[in-house]
Structure 1
Amino acid sequence: MARRRPKHLQQLFGSQQLQQFADFTEQYQLWQQLLSDCLQETSLAELAASCEVIAVRAPSLIIQVSSAAIGQRIKTEQGRIITHFQTHATPAVASLEVRIRPSRQAVAPEPRKAPQKNTPKELVTESETVKKLREQAALCEEPLRSQLLALADKYSG
């Protein structure tokens, strides 16, 4: 198998794929700035870190948020956001789509606690359990009373 010759640096910088990537990156940064500006205008600046424009596909603006609560707040300002993007974005925007994707950091599970071992003070003796079963049986009606008494008899003997 023949090896391909490495490309010259000028060939890489002049390639169409690199130019398309550079154009998309520039457009993506513009969308993020538009969203940030729009959130500033609508008094939702604190949500800017939790929102991200994924794409603007005519006629939809697609925004990714980190929680349903943030998504709901964005949806309440949907009209203002669409209007802002209609006046500033290149493709025409007529609708807003919100996608919820929790960030891994935001949904960090709580560490599990190791099961606690019972100390001798916490251990309930069988006689105490039997006594409690009999006390509860006295307060109950049949058929629960007879079942509790049978259970107490089982552990007492």
Structure 2
Amino acid sequence: MPRKRPKQLDQLLGSQRLQQFADFTEQHQRWQQQMRDCLQEQSLRELVPHCEVIAVSAPSLIIRVSSAAIGQRIKTAQGRIITYFQSHATPAVTQLEIRVRPSRQASTTPAPQAAEKPTRNESETVRKLREQAALCEEPLRSQLLALADKYDGSP
């Protein structure tokens, strides 16, 4: 089978696929800005770095969150978020879909091996527990704080 000749740079830059990609990228940035504005309006500013709009396809607004705790907080504000996007987004939004996908940074850390003795990096564990507790509602918040206190007080 003969190979196709490589395209010239002018052909690539003027292609319809590149324009579609540029349009989608621009639309995605607008959705992200709308999400930031919405969360700030709802007094959920601390959730902004943990949420990303994946797509707005009628009738769904699809959001990726970094943890289940963040997803639960977004779910409690679902009605207000839908209302905000109904008045600001191009396609009509009537439902919210949340996908929990931990950030790549968290997933690239290797899991501790069972045969090894756990390291004494408890201050980092305590800090992470307290951060997650700050993002959660009761009773999970008090349980995470109690667990952090347990790690913090151990010899």
CA distance in 1, matches of 2:90, 2:68: 28
1:7-53 deviation digits (Å, cap 9, x = unpaired): 22221111111111011001111111100111111111111111111
**Secondary structure at 1:111 match in 2:** coil
Amino acid at match of 1:49: P
CA distance in 2, matches of 1:114, 1:12: 53
Amino acid at match of 1:60: S
1:99-132 deviation digits (Å, cap 9, x = unpaired): 11122433545634735xxxxxxxxxxxxxxxxx
- 2:128 corresponds to: none
State the TM-score, normalized to the length of structure 2: 0.67
Q: Which runs of 5+ in 2 are unaligned?
A: 118-155
1:82-115 deviation digits (Å, cap 9, x = unpaired): 1111111110111111111122433545634735
CA distance in 2, matches of 1:37, 1:19: 27
Amino acid at match of 1:40: Q
- Of 103, 114, 119, the residue aligned with 2:116 is 114
- The number of residue pairs the alignment matches comes to 116
CA distance in 2, matches of 1:11, 1:81: 42
Amino acid at match of 1:58: A
CA distance in 1, matches of 2:5, 2:17: 19
CA distance in 2, matches of 1:12, 1:88: 33
CA distance in 2, matches of 1:104, 1:55: 19
CA distance in 2, matches of 1:104, 1:61: 22
- 2:34 corresponds to: 34
State the TM-score, normalized to the length of structure 1: 0.67
- 1:53 corresponds to: 53
Q: Which runs of 5+ in 1 are unaligned?
A: 116-157
CA distance in 2, matches of 1:74, 1:88: 18
- 2:140 corresponds to: none
CA distance in 1, matches of 2:95, 2:49: 22
- 1:44 corresponds to: 44
- The structure number with the bigger radius of gyration is 1
